[in-house]
Structure 1
Amino acid sequence: MGQPAQWGGTASIKGSTESMQMALLTCSLIGLQFTWGIEMTYCTPYLLQLGLTKSGISLVWIAGPLSGLIMQPIVGVVADRSRSPWGRRRPFMVIGTVIVSACLLILGWTKEIVGHFVTEEEAKREITIALAVLSIYGVDFAINAVQASCRSLVVDTLPIPKQQLGSAWATRMIAAGSLVGYGAGAVDLRIFFGTMLGDTQFKQLTAVAALTLCMTIGITSWAVTERILISDGKENDGSQGAMFVLNQIFKTATNLPPRISIICWTQFWCWIGWFPFLFYSTTWIGEIYMRYDAPAETRNSPDTLGQIGRIGSTSLIVFSIVTCIGSVVFPWLIKSPDEEKPAFTPRPPSSIASFLIELEKYKPSLLTAWQLSHLVFAFSMILAPFVRSLRSATILVALCGIPWALGCWAPWTFMGMEINRLSNVPSSSTPSTDPHRRSASLSRPSIELKPLQPSPSPDSGSAGETSGIYLGILNLYCTLPQFVGTAISWAVFSILEPGKSPELAKEVAPGEHHGTEGPNAIAVCLFIGACAAGGAAFATGRLRGLG
């Protein structure tokens, strides 16, 4: 058995109030979400403009799930045992941020960089596409390392009673990053910056994203002081290696409790539907605009990419606003799934108390609301191939903000309930003797991978022993569908739009035809995703059947 870990120093956060401390601790997530938003909003139309086919782009987006599957476990294991004098997380945050920022700038100025070294037109086009794709992979892999470290920093720094508050602040910062990112994409930044940050909207956005990420990561790194790991007590213990972690995840994933299994499979089908929406909705909206609503001067604009990005971002701002409103309002309109009496009962003003008491009789359960949300998403996206105006496309995208708000809330609530139920099963383990659980320090000495220890079995352990395993498996069920979505979109794009994008193709080679009279390939992908959402609704109904 390994010896207890030895630590130096005390975790602390600058700030005179608790709210300020939480804001400083989670500030880094604004920059992270801003960068993700720019990538999802602009990179698809950017690659289309460079001449990459939609089927090729679908393969490029394997970078997202692939980097998540690889980087987060590796960074978690390496950082967990790091003895850096600057802490375990912040070095990875800073180094990863430098790599992300460099890749963003290369992505924005790909044509200029390649043009400096290559003059032959066809070679220049091919190398430009290759460098852009390589930059996207660099962004995805590095930002996953930063994201894993930022999330772990919150867990490490806060004591157990403050973990829920930290998660709430993290959610707020992510929402703020989304709104700022979509807002920046919806306006012409050249009005504010001129050509100081580049002569196109995409260049300016990559520069702003790099600056924002550096600033927010810098603020969090400055404000937080980590404890220093002196010894993890496992130098001679091979049982906690990578193979043990993978073996434990595999055993648990193949023997899930029935309700957890259904929650995971619901997420699997759900994310097959959400993948094309999150990665291609901006491009779809922009293409609808270019096909049916754009005036001739817009179609011939030298910055078509900026036009499509701004139109798509405007619609996604509406989507984000609907999501934010839903996340605030739905808890008042939906019954809590908790079986125990809550420790705190909100007291509404007397002027509306009678109304709320009457409303309580008609509140749906969270399970019902979650199932209905899948159907709302399915109904919205099943109409995508029939959309013929920007207004209709925006309405459908905005409507999807309702199921997205519930999708960010319901599965994690049900998973937490199931983990707590499993935690109440008597176990032969003695958590109180675990030195990691008796730490008097401010920070928790464990991260997500720590619960993967060989003491109790996955079916009967304490919350600390099982939560990391089950939440990690839930994340896998959210990641693996993205590979399925990639395969579906590749097949659809290869069949319906094998050449350049009809809306973005500026030059047509002899023998090629890029008319816009055929079906929109992205709309077909959204339609297939709607069918998968129907599968998610069916799986949610099975959860009801288990009681």
Structure 2
Amino acid sequence: MPPVAQWTGTPKVKGSSESIRMALLTASLIGLQFTWNVEMTYCTPYLLELGLTKSKISLVWVAGPLSGLIMQPIVGVIADRSTSRWGRRRPYMFGGTVLVSMFLLLLGWTKEVVRYFVKDEASAKSKTVVVAVLSIYGIDFAINAVQGSCRGLIVDTLPISKQQQGSSWASRMVAVGSLIGYGAGAIDLRSVFGPMLGDTQFKQLTGVAALTLCLAVGVTSWAVTERVRVLDVDVEEKISPIEVLQTIAKTAMELPRGIQAICHVQFWAWIGWFPFLFYSTTWVGEVYLRYDAPADVKAAGDLTGKVGRVGSMALIGFSIITFVMSVLLPFFVRSPADDKASGFTPRPPKKIAGIVTELEKHKPSLLTAWTMSHCLFASSMIFAPFVRSLRSATLIIAVCGVSWSVACWAPFAFLGVEINRISQSNGHANSHANRYSDEHEVPPTIHLDGGLEAAGDKVSNQGGDTGKYLGIMNLYTTLPQFVGTGISWVVFSVLEPGKSPELSEAPPGEQHPTDGPNAIAVCLFIGACCACFAALATRRLKRMQNY
């Protein structure tokens, strides 16, 4: 029988109230989402301005799924076995944040860095593209290590009864990060900071993103105290790189049915979300340039900044709706843990007991809300090829905020519940095979502030496999992005084989015509169709798990 991990200490979060503790625990996601937004909002128009075609840019965005495929599972498995006195997650959060910040600054100042070393103008242009692409790969690989550690920290710290609450707070922080990111992108930062952070909007944003990520991760790292894993040298050896890969492959092939069903939903959902997240800002900007922009807008310069600001304005509405729904929905949606909970149920005051009881009866489950969110996303994006105005594009982008608030919440809530159930089962199975000393004893129940909960509550994850299962689910989030990349490459190659007439400075002979369908809109339409399959997979999860 494999040894059960031993621990010292109790997970704690600073703060005078539960809301403050939840906010501090999930604050790192603000910086993460801000960074993702800068990359997804500005990098596509930036690369188009450098002269890349859309089909080549779609291959550049393989960086996202490739880094997620490699980094999150590997970092998850290694972190699960970490015995650092700082905890299992925070060292990787800190190290990854430093790397992300360095690559962000390199991306913003790519032209200046290349021209410092390369004096020939033609050679400098080609090398600028290469360095920009390498910077994007560096950001994606490093930020996936940070993201996996931040999510793992939430699951590790919270007991099973608070997994949905933690996921909903994480969704709120993602929405806050999006709102701040798109808000910063929508205003002219040069008029705010002057030349201090650079002479273009893109440079300003990369600097602000690096600073925001460092602050957000620093706040969470300061506020959270992790349990420390104790290595028993008599029964446990250090894991080799080959064993890491073997562990990941074995876990992926033998997933518990509940986690496997959640992963299947994620697979179909993310084929739909991939083009939305990476191309929606550029699509909104192109709609504006094709149908609404003044004739002389291109001559004014800094097209990347203009398209980014127009797209960010549209996505501000998306972020506001995401934030509002992430705050309100948890009050009107039944938690997956509630459906199977037993024991004491708190009674409301007698005067409002009837109303509260009636509302509780008609509360939809989180699984139903997840299904409806797929349907709403599909019904919005299916209209993308027919949009002919900035107002219409902004409207359908904003509506998707409802779906995104659930997409950032539901899968992690269900996964957290499943991980904790598995951990409890393993703990019960091994309870007679292992006895801890008083020094290394795991507290019987763990609360957010390090205290003890009611005796009937269920303990936080004790099996040490949080990072592994989060990494596996991330495989099902990144693999469909390869599918989305392939789809977008084919669509761009067929519909827009030349350089962008809206954003590049290429001569007319190298540009694709603007009288055909918009290729990004077609990718969004295909994503809508895949969201329908995600809705069907969610219904199968309901039948399988009886949530």
Say yes or no: TM over 0.5: yes
Does the 8 A contact of 1:77 with 1:242 survive in 2?
A: no
Q: How many residues align?
A: 528
| Corresponding letter in the other structure for 1:516 | T
Q: Is 1:304 aligned to residue 274 of structure 2?
A: no
Match of 1:295 in 2: 294
Does the 8 A contact of 2:268 with 2:533 survive in 1?
A: yes
When residues 217 and 355 of structure 1 are mapped into structure 2, their CA distance, relative to the original with a 3 A threshold, is closer
Residues of 1 paired with 2:496 and 2:227: CA distance?
Answer: 54
Match of 1:489 in 2: 488
Deviation for aligned residue 1:309: 0.8
Match of 2:280 in 1: 281
Q: Is 1:524 aligned to residue 522 of structure 2?
A: yes
Does the 8 A contact of 2:378 with 2:532 survive in 1?
A: yes
Does the 8 A contact of 1:157 with 1:443 survive in 2?
A: no
Q: Is the deviation greater in 463-472 or in 391-400?
A: 463-472
Residues of 2 paired with 1:408 and 1:91: CA distance?
Answer: 24
TM alignment of 1:71-220, pairs within 5 A: 71-82=71-82, 88-154=88-154, 167-220=167-220
Deviation for aligned residue 1:303: 1.4
Match of 1:66 in 2: 66
Residues of 2 paired with 1:290 and 1:437: CA distance?
Answer: 68
Match of 2:404 in 1: 404
When residues 54 and 426 of structure 1 are mapped into structure 2, their CA distance, relative to the original with a 3 A threshold, is closer
Indicate the SS of the match to 2:316.
helix
Does the 8 A contact of 1:69 with 1:479 survive in 2?
A: yes
Indicate the SS of the match to 1:195.
helix
Match of 1:263 in 2: 262
Deviation for aligned residue 1:108: 0.7
Match of 1:498 in 2: 497
Deviation for aligned residue 1:531: 1.4
Unaligned runs of 5+ in 1: 446-461
Decide which of 511, 514, 518 is 2:512's aligned counterpart.
514
When residues 299 and 350 of structure 1 are mapped into structure 2, their CA distance, relative to the original with a 3 A threshold, is farther
Does the 8 A contact of 1:28 with 1:216 survive in 2?
A: yes
Indicate the SS of the match to 1:119.
coil
When residues 371 and 463 of structure 1 are mapped into structure 2, their CA distance, relative to the original with a 3 A threshold, is farther
Residues of 2 paired with 1:211 and 1:63: CA distance?
Answer: 23
Match of 1:451 in 2: none
Q: Is the deviation greater in 425-434 or in 470-479?
A: 425-434
Deviation for aligned residue 1:172: 3.4
Q: TM-score scaled to structure 2, two decimals?
A: 0.83
Indicate the SS of the match to 1:42.
helix
Match of 1:452 in 2: none
Residues of 2 paired with 1:279 and 1:124: CA distance?
Answer: 27
Residues of 2 paired with 1:355 and 1:227: CA distance?
Answer: 42
Question: Percent identity among equivalent residues?
Answer: 62
Q: Is 1:393 aligned to residue 393 of structure 2?
A: yes
Does the 8 A contact of 1:89 with 1:149 survive in 2?
A: yes
Q: TM-score scaled to structure 1, two decimals?
A: 0.83
Does the 8 A contact of 1:505 with 1:514 survive in 2?
A: no
| Corresponding letter in the other structure for 2:70 | I
Deviation for aligned residue 1:465: 7.8
| Corresponding letter in the other structure for 2:329 | F
- Bigger RCO (CA 8 Å, 6+ sep): 2
Residues of 1 paired with 2:38 and 2:349: CA distance?
Answer: 40
When residues 310 and 444 of structure 1 are mapped into structure 2, their CA distance, relative to the original with a 3 A threshold, is farther
Deviation for aligned residue 1:429: 2.1
When residues 89 and 161 of structure 1 are mapped into structure 2, their CA distance, relative to the original with a 3 A threshold, is same
When residues 465 and 506 of structure 1 are mapped into structure 2, their CA distance, relative to the original with a 3 A threshold, is closer
When residues 276 and 112 of structure 1 are mapped into structure 2, their CA distance, relative to the original with a 3 A threshold, is same
Residues of 2 paired with 1:266 and 1:407: CA distance?
Answer: 10
When residues 133 and 317 of structure 1 are mapped into structure 2, their CA distance, relative to the original with a 3 A threshold, is same
Residues of 2 paired with 1:66 and 1:355: CA distance?
Answer: 50
Deviation for aligned residue 1:331: 4.0
Deviation for aligned residue 1:534: 1.9
When residues 253 and 491 of structure 1 are mapped into structure 2, their CA distance, relative to the original with a 3 A threshold, is same
When residues 508 and 350 of structure 1 are mapped into structure 2, their CA distance, relative to the original with a 3 A threshold, is farther
Residues of 2 paired with 1:348 and 1:50: CA distance?
Answer: 64
TM alignment of 1:345-364, pairs within 5 A: 347=348, 364=364
Deviation for aligned residue 1:139: 0.9
Match of 1:459 in 2: none
Q: Is 1:322 aligned to residue 321 of structure 2?
A: yes
Does the 8 A contact of 1:155 with 1:443 survive in 2?
A: no
